[in-house]
Amino acid sequence: MTKFVCTFLLLFVMTFVTQLAYGGGEGSLTPEECPGACDVRCSKARTKKACLFYCNLCCDKCLCVPSGTFGNKEECPCYNNWKTKKGTPKCP
């Protein structure tokens, strides 16, 4: 019985952490909501076309866009941790 409870709790915690890390927690988006969220995120960008391209690419993968027009990337770990081949942030 104890092994069953421990296994259940471990799976529950792993599922919860995975959902938070990949945008399944509060504030997660559907792919249809990405363009609107990226419009807000990129509204003050100097290179709006590139910002929108990469933001939508990241949102499609992570189903999350940080709030505001800059920073706040800790809200979306997947979005924050996706890097280019050079190790620079991929998502605006």
Is residue 60 within 8 Å of 38, Cβ to Cβ? no
Does 27 score more than 60 pLDDT? no
The structure's pTM equals 0.68
The pLDDT value given to residue 24: 43
The pLDDT value given to residue 1: 64
**Counting Cβ atoms within 10 Å, is residue 23 exposed (0-12), middle (13-18) or buried (19+)?**
buried
